[in-house]
């Protein structure tokens, strides 16, 4: 039998990979020890499992103490074993590391053994997760005043990706936390608050427009009409355009406010 041994670095620890009969296997005892799990308890659990026990292979491996037989599982079964461990039932001090393995171990092995497939079909975030990333960026921009592009640039540098769509699925929770989280309730209120500010701003413009319009009619209109007709025409035309555009903008923002208020009234907080 042709058995080749190699190691993969994972969070400053080594995963022992054995290429046995042209198929990659993982030595399970070092994995359990790296996480902090009891090896004998896990070996018993694997042997009791009707599917996992069919994949177990004892592979003779050279070690410092001589040739030893290591219980190994094929890579295709690693996730089944990992996700069969309830993180709520392990010791608190190993819970975080176990969850980290559950999130990232498959990505590490997938990219190592199938780089061509991984590059063509990366295990990246879903469409829904992409939307959550964009919302988190919007909220961070509102909270901090940072430009969206500046946030995305930092995001790409932090996670070493060219686009947010290329974020590995295992990094999604970390990315949301790095951006500051998604607060749907607050974000709705932020949108409504922005609409109110826009409305007040446009109403102020409209108020000053009326003052300028009255001043023009009282002091300049007749003089310009008599002495400089073209200026009178240009000035009147400009005032009319301002009035129309401000009026249209106010109507639009007013309708958006009505829609937003209606939606918010139906939200169950």
Summarize pLDDT for 126-166 with one digit per residue, the tens: 777 888 898 899 888 888 888 888 999 999 999 988 888 88
* Higher-confidence position of 224 and 52: 52
- Burial of 63 by CB count in 10 Å (0-12 exposed, 13-18 middle, 19+ buried)? exposed
pLDDT at 10: 67
Mean pLDDT of 14-24: 80
Write down the H helix ranges in the chain.
Answer: 28-35, 39-48, 75-82, 92-113, 115-120, 127-144, 148-159, 172-179, 184-215, 221-227, 229-266
Q: Are residues 10 and 95 in the same domain?
A: yes
pLDDT at 186: 46
Q: ∠ CA 124-126-132 to the nearest 5 degrees?
A: 110
Residue 117 has pLDDT above 60, yes or no: no
Residue 268 has pLDDT above 70, yes or no: no
Mean pLDDT of 194-222: 75
pLDDT at 154: 93
* Higher-confidence position of 11 and 135: 135
Q: Are residues 173 and 191 in the same domain?
A: no
Summarize pLDDT for 53-99 with one digit per residue, the tens: 888 999 887 777 778 888 999 887 887 888 888 888 888 888 888 87
How far is CA 255 from each of CA 43, 79, 196, 250, 265, rounded to the nearest angstrom? 65, 51, 11, 9, 15
Q: Are residues 250 and 144 in the same domain?
A: no
Nearest alpha-carbon partner for 46 in 73, 23, 69, 66: 73
Q: Are residues 102 and 154 in the same domain?
A: no
CA 55 from centroid of its chain's CA atoms: 35
Q: Are residues 249 and 210 in the same domain?
A: yes
Summarize pLDDT for 242-253 with one digit per residue, the tens: 777 777 777 777
- Give per-residue burial for 134-160: e unless 16+ CB within 10 Å, then b: ebbbbbbbeeeeeeeeebbeebeeeee
Q: Are residues 34 and 21 in the same domain?
A: yes
Q: Are residues 145 and 210 in the same domain?
A: no
Tally of structural domains, the chain: 3
Residue 189 has pLDDT above 60, yes or no: no
pLDDT at 46: 92
Domain range enclosing 238:
184-266
pLDDT at 88: 81
Nearest alpha-carbon partner for 25 in 113, 118, 101, 116: 113
Nearest alpha-carbon partner for 240 in 204, 207, 213, 203: 213
Percentage of residues of the chain with pLDDT beyond 90: 12
Percentage of residues of the chain with pLDDT beyond 70: 79
In angstroms, the CA 70 to CA 48 distance is: 18
Q: Are residues 87 and 141 in the same domain?
A: no
* Least confident span in 12-21, 30-39, 236-245: 236-245
Summarize pLDDT for 90-116 with one digit per residue, the tens: 888 888 888 777 777 666 665 655 555
- Give 181's Cβ-side CA count (13 Å radius): 5
Q: What's the chain's average pLDDT?
A: 77
Confidence band of 185 (pLDDT split at 50, 70, 90): very low
Mean pLDDT of 229-236: 73
Six-digit token pair at 23?
């198929």
- Burial of 204 by CB count in 10 Å (0-12 exposed, 13-18 middle, 19+ buried)? exposed
First to last CA, the chain: 63
- Report yes or no: 136 and 179 within 8 Å, Cβ to Cβ: yes
Residue 26 has pLDDT above 90, yes or no: no
């Amino acid at each position: 039998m042709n058995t080749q041994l190699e190691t993969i670095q994972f969070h400053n620890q080594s995963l022992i990979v054995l290429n046995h009969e042209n198929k990659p296997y993982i030595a399970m005892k070092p994995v359990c020890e790296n996480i902090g799990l009891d090896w004998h308890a896990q070996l018993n659990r694997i042997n009791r499992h009707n599917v996992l026990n069919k994949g177990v292979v004892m592979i003779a491996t050279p070690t410092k103490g001589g040739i030893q037989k290591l219980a190994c599982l094929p890579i295709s079964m690693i996730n089944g074993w990992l996700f069969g461990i309830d993180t709520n039932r392990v010791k608190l001090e190993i819970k975080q590391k176990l969850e980290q393995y559950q999130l990232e171990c498959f990505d590490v092995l997938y990219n190592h053994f199938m780089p061509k497939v991984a590059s063509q079909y990366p295990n990246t975030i879903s469409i829904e997760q992409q939307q959550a990333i964009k919302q988190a960026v919007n909220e961070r921009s509102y909270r901090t005043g940072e430009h969206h592009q500046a946030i995305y640039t930092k995001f790409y540098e932090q996670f070493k990706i060219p686009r947010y769509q290329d974020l590995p699925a295992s990094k999604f929770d970390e990315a949301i936390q790095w951006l500051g989280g998604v607060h749907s309730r607050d974000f709705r209120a932020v949108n409504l608050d922005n609409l109110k500010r826009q409305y007040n701003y446009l109403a102020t413009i409209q108020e000053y427009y009326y003052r300028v319009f009255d001043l023009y009619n009282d002091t300049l209109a007749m003089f310009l009409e008599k002495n400089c007709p073209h200026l009178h025409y240009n000035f009147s035309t400009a005032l009319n355009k301002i009035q129309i555009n401000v009026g249209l903008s106010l109507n639009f923002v007013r309708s958006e406010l009505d829609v937003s208020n209606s939606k918010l009234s139906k939200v169950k907080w």
